[in-house]
């Protein structure tokens, strides 16, 4: 079994958060190693997420606001 691009995209956020099963982590990693387009997109999302998290941490944003931000991100990445 392997993932196509869309299936890989959908898992990026959980992959970054390491919330996938071991098997799914491996499938995403395998796809990223063989697909330049997804690898680039992954690097971009990883950077954006880290940036947002750092901003939220540095600025002591209320939890409900940061949840809204991530809720919006989830919807955007839902293709």
State the minimum distance, in angstroms, from the CB of residue 70 to Zn ion.
24
State the minimum distance, in angstroms, from the CB of residue 74 to Zn ion.
20
State the minimum distance, in angstroms, from the CB of residue 57 to Zn ion.
31
Could you list the residues that contact Zn ion (CB under 5 A)?
Answer: 5, 35, 38
DSSP reduced 3-state for 8: helix
Cβ-based nearer residue to Zn ion, 7 or 67: 7
DSSP reduced 3-state for 74: helix
Measure the CA–CA gap between 39 and 55, rounded to whole angstroms: 24
């Amino acid at each position: 079994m392997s993932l196509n691009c869309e299936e890989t995209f959908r898992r990026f956020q959980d992959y970054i958060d390491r919330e996938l099963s071991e098997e799914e982590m491996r499938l995403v990693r395998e796809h990223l190693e063989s697909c330049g387009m997804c690898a680039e997109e992954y690097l971009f999302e990883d950077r954006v997420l880290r940036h947002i998290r750092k901003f939220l941490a540095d600025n002591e944003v209320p939890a409900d606001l940061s949840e809204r931000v991530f809720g919006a991100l989830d919807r955007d990445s839902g293709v």
